[in-house]
């Protein structure tokens, strides 16, 4: 948990500094300042987390059902990188929006209230509690069913409100 939080804060601060630099270049009249902001802004949005959640749920289903050695390979090769990606993308979005808010865009923080960020939160919460889900047979079976249902929902449901 501590490493996750420190990685989130470090990426958010670095992204905020890059956006601040881009805004500073934009204010000075350099045209490539807006290019930096648009690249960081286009890097991640809330819709990115739906397919990431599907990949993570599939790897979670494999982790809870496979034998220990194979589950360890899936955990280190699939679940942990997807978890790290979700944390970095979430921190990037947070850093960009806080920097926009600092430069006078008052509705920038309202973007962080998008309901699709729940997928990123689900990835983080499940990853931090994945070891607990493997401990007994009942939790393993229930989490396998939940992971498969989440995978199918993320891949085939449109999630439109």
- SS3 string, 57-125, reads HHHHHHHHHCCHHHHHHHHHHHHHHHHHHHHHHHHHHHHHHHHHHHCCCCCHHHHHHCCCHHHHHHHHH
Place of tokens 């993308």: 89
pLDDT digits (tens, 9 = 90+) for 73-115: 999 999 999 999 999 999 999 999 999 999 888 888 888 898 9
The yes-or-no verdict on residue 47 having pLDDT over 90 is no
The CA distance from 94 to 118, in Å, is: 14
- Report domain extents, the chain: 2-156
Q: Would you state the pLDDT for residue 45?
A: 82
The yes-or-no verdict on residue 144 having pLDDT over 90 is yes
Burial class of 105 by CB neighbour count within 10 A (0 to 12, 13 to 18, 19+): middle
* DSSP 8-state code for residue 146: H
Q: How far is CA 120 from the centre of its chain?
A: 4
Q: Would you state the pLDDT for residue 161?
A: 58
Lowest mean pLDDT among 82-86, 122-126, 156-160: 156-160
Average pLDDT over residues 138-152: 94
Q: Would you state the pLDDT for residue 18?
A: 92
């Amino acid at each position: 948990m501590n490493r996750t939080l420190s990685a989130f804060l470090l990426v958010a601060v670095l992204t905020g500094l890059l956006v601040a630099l881009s805004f500073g270049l934009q204010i000075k009249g350099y045209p490539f300042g807006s290019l930096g902001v648009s690249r960081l802004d286009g890097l991640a949005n809330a819709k990115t987390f739906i397919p990431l959640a599907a990949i993570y749920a599939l790897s979670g289903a494999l982790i809870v059902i496979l034998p220990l050695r194979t589950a360890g390979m899936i955990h280190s090769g699939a679940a942990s990188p997807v978890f790290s990606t979700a944390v970095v993308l979430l921190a990037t979005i947070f850093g960009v929006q806080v920097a926009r808010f600092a430069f006078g865009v008052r509705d920038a923080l309202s973007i962080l209230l998008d309901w699709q960020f729940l997928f990123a939160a689900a990835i983080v919460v499940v990853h931090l509690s994945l070891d607990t889900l493997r401990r007994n047979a009942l939790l393993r079976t229930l989490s396998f069913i939940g992971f498969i249902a989440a995978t199918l929902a993320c891949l085939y449901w449109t999630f439109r409100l």
